[in-house]
Chain A
Amino acid sequence: MLLEVKNLSTEFKLKRGIVKAVDDISFTIDKGEILAIVGESGSGKSVTSLSIMGLLQKPGRIASGEILYKSQDLNKLSQKEMQKLRGNQISMIFQEPMTSLNPVWRIKDQIMESIMTHMKLSKKEALKRTIEMLDIVGIPSAAQRANDYPHQMSGGMRQRVMTAMALACEPELLIADEPTTALDVTIQAQILELLFRMREKFNMAVLLITHDLGVVSEAADRVIVMYCGKIVEEADVRSLFAHPLHPYTVGLLQSIPQIDDDCDTRLYMIKGMVPNPLNMPPGCSFSDRCDHSMERCTKEMPELQEIDGHKVRCFLYEEAKEGGLDRK
């Protein structure tokens, strides 16, 4: 077990109240495993990744819980100690390759900075390694392009550069926060393929954060579904797609248009809206949008139950050992 998140809660202290972005979540990632966290905007998935990295800015803070990386609680480390881990053992790549690179530094300098911060290499050796990394991620004419500035590259290439930068020190865990969202589909496929290669080569674990179920089905080993800061379902990828349990997951899967749908089939949408985080309704947060909600759902919050390795947070499964909802 590489990373174990235990009862993590992260909150934001706003003038209007406290927003619990992440509410008591727990999960683990093993070495070499690709875990995907799926959810819509506001579900708390990005905040989770920032919490793990210790990159939360005010007014956000970790309220409670443990983040055990190789049995060490990251939450208890000082900034200096965290800095030793970041970019070194735990790396992160972000959503917007356009703006996530420093516009006035050359690509090579940005990657070399990562290398020289954590590895004891001379400048020459660092440069050599930089060019190697750029090659590995698939940048053509790596040696020349290393001298470029970010604005001289396309979005897909910048994302590769980010990846090269994140992997330069051979981290054990890579957190990828919506790495393909800002890119078009063909590039998306290339970046995912790149991640696979990296995982093969370095036996690296990946925490993949996304809202795109297509990406999940292609890339992930296991999936966690988050809604309003809580985990509502967790399973291996096959099981999730074959037998989704939580009504929210079912809704999400139904929303994906099928290639064999009729032309005039209406796109399915989960009814209702995400509740206001400052004013969460009592009981299950999904209850007002759920087709199967019972009276109990509006009063109590269901616990996370495990059924044959498949976890779900829903009263529908309180007594049941098996079963799910049929996909229409």
Chain B
Amino acid sequence: METKHSSYSDEGLLQAAEYVEKPESQLKLMWETLRQNKAAVVGLIIIGLLVLIALAVWLSELMGKQILPYDPNFSDMSKGFIWPNAEHWFGTDQLGRDVFSRILDGTKISLSVGVAAVAISLSVGVVLGATAGYRGGKTDAAIMRLMDMMLAIPSILLAIAFMAALGKGLDKAIIAIGLVSIPEYARIVRGSILSVKENDYVHAAKIIGNKTSRIIYKHILPNVISVIVVRATLGISSAVLDTAALGFLGLGVQPPFAEWGDMLGRARGFIFSAPYTLIFPGIAITITVLAFNLLGDGLRDALDPKSRIK
């Protein structure tokens, strides 16, 4: 355990300088710090745009209207392999479908799979971790052994193995990707609970007579939530990558749905003849993942008490 010497200066000095603001709540301070992080804000804006696009496409589909320039699934063989031009901004693919429309359409899937997969990992992981941390003893040992074993297998392989068993399809992909990340969240939650359980102030609270649940609420929860929020944000970005990977391999979404990884996978043969069919879906994936990474990094920095002293 090492102590850090804060900027080699009189610690008291900088601490005193901190007196200036007493924020209403921890959240407010977090938001302030985050807002100052330009990169994180950019990420947030991009995510906002993506969510808007996804919602717009989804809602319009529900209502039977078409807001995309072209029907993403409508294939017109006579219009195959048109290079990007004024009519088809990203060109058309091998089946004559407008690439731009397909990419916008694919936003729905990527975002929803990302969020759904993380939701699965989170819920199961948190419950397992909380049980392990709180019960301790044999329950703890058993659950953690299971988590260790899952972590022993590289995640993509594990996801692929799950897919091999469950079969192809979007819903199976969500489950596979979701299952793979459970150990991370379990560990985080368990770790937080354990570290706080032994803290003196928890003992003190118990002595004063606070109920167990209250202790969890007041002391453990705030700590855990912030770490989980960061992890989940970054988890969405890796879920999007994994979805694309599975799609690329042909294990994910099934046609005719537009999914970026799948689009890349099917266009492989045209790598030299029509490279644009490969470039744009990749850019879409990268931007989406980048946005969540920026936000996640920003959140992590905002939650780190050290970086708030500026």
Interface positions of A (Cβ within 8 A of B):
12, 14-16, 19, 21, 40-47, 50, 55-60, 96, 98-99, 103, 274, 276-279
Q: Are A56 and B8 CB-contacts (below 8 A) given A12-B13, A14-B310, A99-B3?
A: yes
Nearest-CB distance from B297 to chain A (Å)?
20
Q: Are A21 and B9 in contact (CB under 8 A)?
A: yes
> In chain B, what residue has the closest Cβ to A96?
B3
Q: Are A40 and B8 in contact (CB under 8 A)?
A: no
Nearest-CB distance from A225 to chain B (Å)?
16
Residues in chain A near residue B11, CB distance under 8 A: 41
Residues in chain A near residue B14, CB distance under 8 A: 12, 14, 19
Residues in chain B near residue A12, CB distance under 8 A: 9, 13-14
Could you show 27 A-B contacts with beta carbons less than 8 Å apart?
A12-B9, A12-B14, A14-B17, A14-B310, A16-B310, A19-B13, A19-B17, A21-B10, A40-B12, A42-B13, A42-B15, A44-B10, A45-B10, A46-B9, A47-B10, A50-B9, A56-B9, A57-B8, A58-B7, A59-B7, A60-B9, A99-B3, A276-B17, A277-B13, A277-B17, A278-B17, A279-B20
Q: Is B19 an interface residue (CB 8 A)?
A: yes
Nearest-CB distance from A51 to chain B (Å)?
10
Q: A16-B310, A19-B13, A41-B10 are in contact. List 13 more A-B contacts (CB 8 A).
A: A14-B14, A15-B310, A16-B20, A21-B9, A42-B15, A43-B12, A47-B9, A55-B8, A57-B9, A59-B7, A96-B5, A274-B16, A277-B13
Q: Are B9 and A42 in contact (CB under 8 A)?
A: no
Give the top 3 A-B pairs by smallest Cβ distance, nearest first: A41-B12, A42-B12, A15-B310
Nearest-CB distance from B293 to chain A (Å)?
26
Q: Are A46 and B7 CB-contacts (below 8 A) given A16-B20, A276-B16, A276-B19?
A: no
| Contact residues of B between 1 and 45, Cβ < 8 Å to A | 2-3, 5, 7-17, 19-20
B13 contact from A47, A99, A103, Cβ within 8 A? A47
Give bound CA distance, A60 to B8, whole Å.
9
Which interface class (under 10, 10 to 19, 20 to 34, 35 or more) fits B? 10 to 19
Residues in chain A near residue B16, CB distance under 8 A: 42, 274, 276-277
> In chain B, what residue has the closest Cβ to A17?
B17
> In chain B, what residue has the closest Cβ to A42?
B12
Q: Are A16 and B13 in contact (CB under 8 A)?
A: no
> In chain B, what residue has the closest Cβ to A55?
B8
Residue among B5, B7, B15, B17 facing the most chain A CB atoms (10 A cut-off): B17
Give bound CA distance, A12 to B5, whole Å.
16
Residues in chain B near residue A103, CB distance under 8 A: 2
> In chain B, what residue has the closest Cβ to A95?
B5
B2 contact from A16, A41, A99, Cβ within 8 A? A99
Give bound CA distance, A56 to B13, whole Å.
14
Nearest-CB distance from B37 to chain A (Å)?
13
Residues in chain A near residue B2, CB distance under 8 A: 99, 103
Give bound CA distance, A55 to B9, whole Å.
10
Give bound CA distance, A50 to B13, whole Å.
14
Residues in chain A near residue B20, CB distance under 8 A: 16, 276, 278-279
Nearest-CB distance from B173 to chain A (Å)?
45
| Contact residues of B between 287 and 310, Cβ < 8 Å to A | 310
